Amino acid sequence: MVTFKGLVFTAVLFAVSLPLAAGTGQRIRPALPVADGACPFETIHTGGVADAFAAPNDAIHPSPALTTFLASVSSKSYDDLAINHYFGDSFKLDECSICGQLCSVKVEIVFQGTGGLDCNDTLFIGQAGGTALFSGDLVSGGCNANEPPPITGRTHAAAVDITTKVIDIDPKAFQDLVCFQKYPWLDVITQDDHAVDSMRLVIRH
């Protein structure tokens, strides 16, 4: 049994239903004990549904800063196969898991190319219009990489090799960026010829 943000959850509840972050459609698994003496808890924030791009498209819940950015470009939600459209979503953070001891912070993004010039797409993790904790190629190696073939439809998406990219974020840089903000968010943006199926933010603390 664990106490999280004033609520008590049991292991049975974890398996059945995850609480929603306030004001978002994100699911948060409350901090569960893990085998690490320095950081005995792991909190997982999720965005989208890991369902191989199945319909309907999952909604995004962007931060105010990311909302402003997405309004200035052509944008899309989870599972959207459109090309030349930016994807963006945000994790709404909780001070209980970001302002104490941190051992690791990882962002996992499940995606696949949808055509166009998808090999040169980029990934931004940080705060839209501000600090980047990661900024670089979405596909490691860019156009020299041997990326799986692009998705041509939802049925095809279920059959191809879907890519999962894991980005290790420096815990101190993450903490310096978000810990003392009144409303902390972490934004993720991809540009602009990939579909994103789902994402996870995994914090060991």
Q: Is residue 10 part of a domain?
A: no
pLDDT for residue 16: 34
Judge whether 2 lies within some domain: no
pLDDT score at 143: 73
Domain tally, the chain: 1
Residue 144 counted as domain residue: yes
Residue 8 lies in a domain: no
Q: pTM value?
A: 0.83
Cis peptide before 33 (omega within 30 of 0): no
Q: Which residues of 58-67 are buried (b: 16+ CB within 10 A; e: fewer)?
A: bebbbbebbb
| Whether 196 contacts 90, CB under 8 Å | no
* Residues ≥6 apart with Cβ < 8 Å to 50: 110, 197, 198
In a domain, 1, yes or no: no
- Output the pLDDT for position 34: 65
Low-confidence ranges of the chain (pLDDT < 50): 1-18, 22-23
Residue 18 lies in a domain: no
Per-residue model confidence (pLDDT) at position 2: 38
CB 123 within 8 A of CB 143: no
Instruction: Give dist(CA 39, CA 59) in Å, integer.
Output: 32
pLDDT of residue 203: 93
Beta bridge partners of 162: none
In the numeric block, the tokens 């931060």 are attached to 63
Nearest to 154 by CA among 28, 22, 30, 53: 53
* Residues spanned by the domain of 61: 25-204
What pLDDT is recorded for position 84? 95
pLDDT in tens, 42-91: 999 999 999 999 999 999 999 999 999 999 999 999 999 999 999 999 99
First to last CA, the chain: 17
Q: Is 4 inside any structural domain?
A: no
Burial pattern 36-47, b for ≥16 Cβ within 10 A else e, equals eeebebbbbbbb
Residue 119 lies in a domain: yes
Going along the chain, which residue ranges are E strands?
Answer: 2-4, 7-9, 27-33, 41-48, 75-76, 86-92, 104-113, 122-126, 132-137, 163-169, 185-191, 194-204
